[in-house]
Structure 1
Amino acid sequence: MLAGFEKSTGKPPEELSLPWKGMPDLKTGEETVEIFRSWRPHSMLFNLPNGNSMALSHEDECPLHPRSIVVVDDVYCIFLGMLLENTCDLRSHYGLSRQVTEAMVVVEAYKVLRDRTPYPPDQVVRDLQGKFAFVLFDARANTLFIARDRDGCIPLQWRMARDGSLVCSDDPNVIAEACGNCCTFFPPGCIYMSGDHPLNKIRAITWEDDEGNISSVLFQVDLFTRLRSIPRTDSSANWAGVTTVDGE
């Protein structure tokens, strides 16, 4: 899969740009999408508003980590992996049929809680149990929502493209072609909502090569720095993903 969001939508953390400063061969977000399309000619491509895009291919798909995409009421979601044990409970809770996929469960949970604004964004994922990652885009609100399970079982990577856009993919070959090693894994057990309120600060830790150049960036949760957020009524211990990466 591949998802690309222009700068005003994706609002990627500035630290994502550190490893590639001065690299002339780094691709733009649009060029990265074209690389994916050329390598996965049978992929589904969604051209979204404001120059954003999402693409999905089932090529080389692992049976234990299937990929799916759904579109419901201008909400687009690419889901990687599987939910376990409580999928039936989630379908029942949101009044969904047995045929509803994991991606649709995520979309419906997002829509229900979105319409109860304001709400803590971790509510969408706190009841999800399994090995998963997803990228959700609300076209009406121009909002991006990314999450990964607490164990980081799905290899989701993100980076800032040369034009400042945000690119996410689980395809290491496409990432390597577009940006070499200038990429980092999305933090496990975290959620990202462009323009939302973080609960804890995510700090970027840089790694340098033998020549002193920044070769990679690792994002870690600073549990000792609590930020002001919207009021909460639930327990933040329910799911490790209550921490968000602030995109502003």
Structure 2
Amino acid sequence: MLAIFQKQVALAPQELNSPRAGGVKPKNPDEILRDFHAAHPADAFSTSFGGGAALACVTSHALPAAGYQRMFCGLDDIFCVFLGRLDNLSSLIRQYGLCPKSTNEALLVIEAYRTLRDRGPYPADQVIKDLSGSFAFVVFDNKSGNVFAARSNDDGGGAPLFWGVAADGSVVICDDRDVVKRGCGKSYAPFPVGCMFHSEGGLKSFEHPMNRLKAMPRVDSEGVMCGATFKVDTFTKINSMPRVGSATNWAAAWDDAAM
């Protein structure tokens, strides 16, 4: 899967950008999207949005050895690309009052996001912690222009997910390391496990929501700075995590807990 968001939609953490590093130069979003299609000429599909966003996916049957199912869904102008599995999908379907026959993981994530956006009975971190399994997803709300992404932290280390910064500053999120590496040069890193990203609130841990995240410089095999990884700072606590009930105060509450 691939998601690209221009700067007016989402901003990557500044520590992820390594503009002075040598080596491969970052590419523009259009080039990265073309490279993704070239890598999967028969099975990739994509959609672009007028506000500066693009989503792409490869059909699951095209990559059977990867062990992760891939899904792309849209509902009420909310779109989700999903990688992995939810082990408790059946119970979550009952919890959200959805139809078992027509609901897959991607649609469930859309419903969870919509519940957070419109009603928000729980903090965002609690909603993501309720998802059991190995997964990574990106949600794009075309109405509000918001981006919501997360990666699990299961026993296997979580479904593969990487992110980086394109030549024009766009955020690039993809499960294919080579696509991100070629497209973002040295400005890329693994998306941190157990974390979620919101375009208005930034990056935070859903496993340890009361702790801030700390950027750790990342050096490649050549000794060159290569983006940054993010770890939970056990010594820095967040004062409070207020409950939220709308899109506006959800983002405001997230700001209190972001880096």
Provide the TM-score with structure 1 as the length reference. Answer: 0.85
Q: How does 1:123-202 map to 2 (within 5 A)?
A: 123-151=126-154, 152-180=157-185, 182-196=187-201, 198=204, 199=209, 200-202=211-213
8 Å CA contact 1:19, 1:216 repeated in 2: no
Q: Which moved more, 1:40-49 or 1:141-150?
A: 40-49
Q: Residues 98 and 50 from structure 1, CA distance in 2 versus in 1: closer, same or farther, beyond 3 angstroms?
A: same
Distance 1:49 1:122, change over 3 A: farther
Task: Tell me which amino acid in the other structure corresponds to 1:76.
Answer: F
Which runs of structure 2 are paired with 1:3-82 in the superposition (5 Å)? 3-18=3-18, 21=21, 25-42=25-42, 43-58=44-59, 59-62=62-65, 64-82=67-85
- Structure 2: state its 5+ residue gaps: 245-253
Aligned length in residues: 237
Partner amino acid for 2:3? A
Q: Deviations over 1:145-198 (max 9, x none)?
A: 111112332110000111111001111232232234542111101111111275
Change (3 A) 1:118 1:49: farther
Amino acid at match of 2:50: P
The alignment's TM-score, normalised by the length of structure 2, stands at 0.81
Deviation of 1:212 after TM superposition, in Å, equals: 6.2
CA contact (8 A) 1:81 1:131 kept: yes
Q: Deviations over 1:100-151 (max 9, x none)?
A: 1011111111112211258522233121100101011111111111111123
Counterpart CA distance in 2 for 1:177 and 1:3 is 15
Q: How does 1:78-97 map to 2 (within 5 A)?
A: 78-84=81-87, 86-97=88-99
For residues 7 and 62 of structure 1, what CA distance do their matches in structure 2 show? 35
Q: Distance in 2 between matches of 1:103 and 1:16?
A: 27
User: CA offsets per residue over residues 15-69 of structure 1, 9 Å max, x none?
Assistant: 1112664556211222211211222223121112312100001232446311001
> Residue 143 of structure 2 aligns to a residue in which SS?
coil
Amino acid at match of 1:7: K
The one-letter code of the counterpart of 1:113 is L
Q: Which amino acid aligns with 1:221?
A: V
CA contact (8 A) 1:64 1:82 kept: no
State the Cα RMSD in Å.
Answer: 2.7
Gaps of 5+ in 1: 234-241
User: What is the identity, as a one-letter code, of the residue corresponding to 1:218?
Assistant: T
% identical aligned pairs: 38
Q: How far apart, CA to CA, are the structure 1 residues paired with 2:8 and 2:23?
A: 23
Question: Any conservation in 2 of the 1:9–1:143 contact (CA below 8 Å)?
Answer: yes
Which residue identity is paired with 2:188?
C
Q: In 1, Cα distance between the equivalents of 2:144 and 2:125?
A: 18
